[in-house]
Structure 1
Amino acid sequence: MPTGYYTHPSFLLHEMGHFHPECPERLQAIEDHLISHGLDGLLDRREAPPATAAHLERVHRPDYLAALAAASPASGYHPIDPDTLMNPRTLEAAAHAAGAAVAATDAVIAGELENAFCCVRPPGHHAEPDRAMGFCFYNNVAIAARHALEAHGLERVAIVDFDVHHGNGTEAAFRGDRRVLMCSFFQHPFYPYSGAETIAPNMSNIPLPAYSNGMAVREVAETIWLPRLEEFKPQMLFISAGFDAHREDDMGQMGLVEQDYAWITERLLEVARRHAQGRIVSCLEGGYNLSALARSVAAHLKVLMEG
């Protein structure tokens, strides 16, 4: 079975101003790299549908969703915080980003796809049940994971987040939920200045100091993540695939390279094969150096395509 690749034209219409790092050019760089390296034709490309209100409300409070819709501007920008802004097409893009994750979950569970990568924006892992922040509006991975549990009846799912920033929104959505194991590393102290304290037994979130390299991250995976995942035996894996821990990305100060992302993906694929029938849905989060982002996504995809 092929690897699915979900995207949508609306992702290029959401923008937050000139020179904002979370920009449409991120997806264009990925697309250009996949085409130039002959990977584009090997993927099962699918257009992302919009998430429904029922999908979004599995994670986000209805009053939050209503307030966000009311704040959507007719023109120009509406600031959520100094770094997170809405333009008139933002919520359309965000709905399709969450919808990509839901549709990918459906297709992978149905056996139509081996696994899937959602090449989406805006990202999602900072979006809390009642708060947009950190470039994020809807929590794409959390919505997909809750969909797998509640619509498909899975009993155990795992979320692995390798973005340079702590996925505070995902943690807030699943803190204390025994059906979900969340594993991550993140630079600390660093935005959003959370996650360093263990606050629930289903969270395995590991803070690492600035300038940690790929070997440090691999050690975290080998000694902490993988034993927890083996014990948990997830029936499906979700990945918050942020590539801003790359050594060329100025958003953070960590030292990963493409081979590290490939290695992490290989280890997660092994877990998925043993316990989850190979089922993985991965969603793009951060990654702001365009060249490093495109190369890292390609490395990630090459491993998924071997699944």
Structure 2
Amino acid sequence: MQILKRLPFFLLTFYFLSEHLPGTAAFRVFDDVDGTETILAFENENIKIQCKTDVPMTYCGFLHPKGKRFSFTDRDVNDGQCTIKIKVSKNDDGEWKCHIGRQTVRVETIKKIRVRVVNQVAAIHPNITAVHGKPVTIHCATTNGFVPISYCRFEPPKGSPFNIDSAVTPKNPILGKYFYPQNRSLDRGDCAVTIRKVKYDDVGIWTCGAGLDDGKEYTDVIRIDVEGLYTMSTASATGITFGGILIAIALVILGVMAWKKRAVLGGRRQPPPQPEVIEIQELGQRQRSRSPEPGRMVPSVVVQSPSEPGASPLIPKS
């Protein structure tokens, strides 16, 4: 009888411990620099998606990646936080949005939460865009809480695979460019590497692998894109290629039109006159043909030189 009386107390204690003690949830939550939160969880696992603020809320709402909405009023929000609990599935994988409304500030605060349904080991960010010449960190982690890993290895898109741990520091990097980040630990299930200066050889698919106590290796992939002075987006490259093709087609069309026009004009052009060839014999005949005909009077001119001055008819005699 005493046990039945104390049963509600035991149930209340169990509920409190399951809700508030750390380490009871298997899923892991990671906070990004930009304020985005990432949740790694197994399929069919019970997870909590939570929004927090430093001031009291008037209302709170969640937007599902597929468009479904969940709303909470001031009765459901306590101490500047609201929480939704779901049994996660592949359909819940994606970016969630939390809308927070406050009476003092009319504009809503929006927080982004990425939910990823993964296996034993998963990449925190499966797609990373890095800046050329700047450092970037690739991070995989165990999903089932802070489970230690026996080793951590990476396969870059180009070059040799390598294994890494906390003994590799910025002072002794692998191949002069890879080192283990100081704020990570294999004992916490972190398989991570920092690239000192990202180059275009680092672009592509990276594979992270971690060994667990069951003797198996679990992997995931991360895609790195590099933006910089000599990098253009896929849309820009496609536009330039398409533009080049159009220009080439236009030049070919203009060339064909010019060739046809020249051919037409050349067909209408009269051949140049052939130079007249006059042989010597023919020239002699032409000269004889130009001789005066018989019976034609040809005036003659006689020039006399006076022998003495008085003989000239133009000079009067003295």
Q: What is the TM-score with the length of structure 2 in the denominator?
A: 0.26
Q: What is the TM-score with the length of structure 1 in the denominator?
A: 0.26
> Which structure's CA Rg is the greater one?
2
* Structure with the higher helix share, 1 or 2: 1
